[in-house]
Amino acid sequence: MNEGIHAEVVEVIGKTGVYGEIYQVMCKILEGKDQNRIMRRNVKGPVRKGDVLLLLESEREAKEIRAR
């Protein structure tokens, strides 16, 4: 079974979600076939630059936050 993929937070873009509980971040994949790829992901809970995330998969990328 796949244990997950480590990714480092490079930039915190902003908050999203109905209550602002989701952070959108740019993260750099640290291992696997997508190593060194930078992608946009949504993260629930507090996060800051330099944190390491454990992603279950690295194929899906979040949509860009748009102003209303």
Q: What is the largest CA-CA distance in the chain?
A: 41
Give residue-wise pLDDT tens across range 14-47. Answer: 999 899 899 999 999 999 889 999 999 999 999 9
Break the chain into its structural domains and give their ranges: 5-55
Q: Which residues pair with 42 in a beta bridge?
A: 24
Question: How far, in Å, CA of 62 to CA of 41, rounded?
Answer: 5
Question: How far, in Å, CA of 14 to CA of 5, rounded?
Answer: 23
Topology of the domain covering 5-55: OB fold (Dihydrolipoamide Acetyltransferase, E2P) (2.40.50)
State the chain's mean pLDDT as an integer.
92
pTM of the predicted model as reported, rounded to 2 decimal places: 0.86
Q: What six digits make up the tokens of 58?
A: 């690295």
